[in-house]
């Protein structure tokens, strides 16, 4: 069986072809980063328009790379929640149109659950039950994953997502957008102990996160208490600020993941989302899972950041007979 997957939840226009094994045949991603850079963040209206222009060529390219034609597609899968509503609508509408005209089932996939499923996809073997950890620009959440379709929220950020904090701190330090890779690069030359930034809920029982306080702490450490602007830091000081911020975020992420493993008594930790690209975070998670006697699953970069291959979660839904009707909605909040 051949599936077509579609992703338009934020600022990547993506399509993928995969089989019911599941095996990924192609994964095409058209990034919009260059359109949003000037604004320092994703502009929802700009994202939706760009999806509209790019989605059909991206689908064509995914089919071409997979060596199949539209008429061979047996099911269409689309990330329909969560995300920017205008952006999601483009993918959902295209998926409905294709399912209707090809007369094949339509499958709605939760983008967050798909991020965790990317670990199963990359591993090529069962990873469930596991603790699922999605760390992206829009989400920071821990899940109890009994199976690919049975995910229960354990805790999530109460304000900013970890990736959002990276992006905002990059902007404070004058490092540009997207901020994650820039902060990581800058941090390499800095001392992670130079500044003492807050580690919210680190010693609390709760598995929730908060990253808005650290953003303000970096702001004041950069420009002086109570100041929101001034001369941009340079050289060693900027590297120290980046390294100390990154260290504080990593410490919280790793300790909460450790708590989730202990609470569920699961042996597997599956991590997804753009922030999982961070090498210092990967190393810290590896160290922690080793200490806990657990196994760490992090997909390669191209399956960590937003993509349509992870919509292969649809294969599990197809097996469970969980199909969507043509009134499938684009739902912005996690549903
Ligand atoms: O999963 P993703 O591609 O999109 C969302 O669904 O949000 O994640 C993007 C986020 C951005 O906030 C970006 O700054 C962050 O992931 N990111 C990183 C790194 N690479 C991307 N954060 C820290 N270190 C990185 N190397
Ligand atoms: Zn995502």
Per-residue pLDDT of the chain (335 residues; tens, 9 = 90+): 999 999 999 989 999 999 999 999 999 999 888 888 878 778 888 889 999 999 999 999 999 999 999 999 999 999 999 999 999 999 999 999 999 999 999 999 999 999 999 999 999 999 999 999 999 988 999 999 999 998 999 999 999 999 999 999 999 999 988 799 999 999 999 999 999 999 999 989 999 999 999 999 999 999 998 888 888 888 899 999 999 999 999 999 999 999 999 999 999 999 999 999 999 999 999 999 999 999 999 999 999 999 999 999 999 999 999 999 999 999 998 76
Q: What's the 119 CA to ligand 2 centre distance in angstroms?
A: 13
Determine if the pTM surpasses 0.75. Answer: yes
CA atoms within 13 A on the CB side of 230: 12
- According to CATH, the topology of domain 2-116+305-319 is Nucleotidyltransferase; domain 5 (3.30.420)
Cβ of residue 178 lying under 6 Å from some atom of ligand 1:
yes
Q: For ligand 2, a single-atom ion, which residues have Cβ within 5 Å?
A: 136, 306
Give ranges for CATH 3.30.420.40 in the chain: 2-116+305-319, 126-303
Q: Which two tokens stand for residue 141?
A: 């959440």
Superfamily of domain 126-303: ATPase, nucleotide binding domain (3.30.420.40)
Distance spanning both ends of the chain, measured CA to CA: 28
Q: How far apart are CA 198 and CA 274, in angstroms?
A: 23
Q: How far apart are CA 179 and CA 183, in angstroms?
A: 6
Pairing of strands 295-297, 268-272: parallel
Q: What is the DSSP string of 55-77?
A: HHHHHHHHHHHHT--GGG--EEE
* Helix, strand, coil abundance in the chain, percent, nearest 5: 45, 20, 35
Angle in degrees, 0-180, between the axes of helices 85-102 and 44-66, rounded to the nearest 10: 30
Which of 109, 112, 168 is CA-nearest to residue 136? 112
**DSSP annotation of 320:** T
Q: Which residue's CA is the nearest one to ligand 1's atom 8?
A: 274
**Could you identify the atom of ligand 1 that is nearest to the CA of residue 305?**
3
Cβ of residue 11 lying under 6 Å from some atom of ligand 1:
no
Place of tokens 């064509």: 60
Q: Which two tokens stand for residue 16?
A: 């993928």
Place of tokens 């991020």: 115
Cβ of residue 166 lying under 6 Å from some atom of ligand 1:
yes
Q: Determine which helix (DSSP H) or strand (DSSP E) holds 264, and give its type and residue range.
A: helix 235-264
Which residue(s) pair with 156 in the sheet? 141
Q: What's the 79 CA to ligand 2 centre distance in angstroms?
A: 10
Cβ of residue 240 lying under 6 Å from some atom of ligand 1:
no
Angle in degrees, 0-180, between the axes of helices 279-292 and 235-264, rounded to the nearest 10: 30
Which residue(s) pair with 76 in the sheet? 4, 106
Q: Which two tokens stand for residue 146?
A: 């009994």
What length does the chain have? 335
């Amino acid at each position: 069986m051949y599936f077509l997957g579609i992703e338009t939840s934020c600022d990547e226009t993506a399509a993928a072809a995969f089989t019911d094994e599941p095996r990924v045949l192609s994964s095409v991603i058209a990034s919009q980063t260059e359109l949003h850079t000037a604004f320092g963040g994703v502009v929802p209206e700009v994202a939706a328009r760009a999806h509209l222009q790019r989605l059909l060529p991206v689908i064509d390219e995914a089919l071409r790379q997979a060596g199949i034609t539209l008429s061979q597609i047996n099911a269409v899968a689309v990330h329909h929640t969560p995300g920017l509503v205008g952006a999601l609508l483009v993918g959902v509408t295209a998926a409905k149109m294709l399912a209707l005209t090809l007369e094949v089932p339509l499958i709605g996939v939760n983008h967050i659950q798909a991020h965790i499923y990317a670990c199963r996809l990359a591993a090529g073997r069962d990873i469930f039950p596991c603790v699922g950890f999605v760390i992206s620009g829009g989400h920071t959440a821990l899940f109890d994953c009994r199976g690919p379709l049975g995910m229960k929220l354990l805790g999530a950020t109460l304000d900013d997502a970890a990736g959002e904090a990276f992006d905002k701190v990059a902007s404070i330090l004058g490092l540009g957008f997207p901020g994650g890779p820039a902060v990581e690069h800058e941090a390499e030359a800095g001392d992670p102990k130079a500044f003492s930034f807050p580690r919210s809920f680190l010693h609390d029982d709760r598995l929730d996160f908060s990253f808005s306080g650290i953003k303000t702490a970096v702001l004041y450490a950069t420009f002086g208490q109570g100041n929101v602007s001034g001369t941009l830091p340079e050289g060693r000081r900027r590297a120290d600020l980046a390294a100390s911020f990154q260290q504080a975020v990593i410490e919280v992420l790793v300790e909460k993941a450790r708590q989730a493993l202990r609470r569920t008594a699961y042996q597997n930790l599956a991590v997804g989302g753009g922030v999982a690209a961070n090498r210092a975070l990967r190393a810290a998670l590896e160290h922690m899972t080793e200490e806990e006697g657990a196994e760490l699953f992090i997909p390669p970069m191209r399956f960590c950041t937003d993509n349509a291959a992870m919509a292969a979660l649809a294969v599990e839904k197809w097996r469970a007979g969980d199909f969507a009707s043509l009134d499938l909605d684009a739902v912005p909040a996690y549903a």
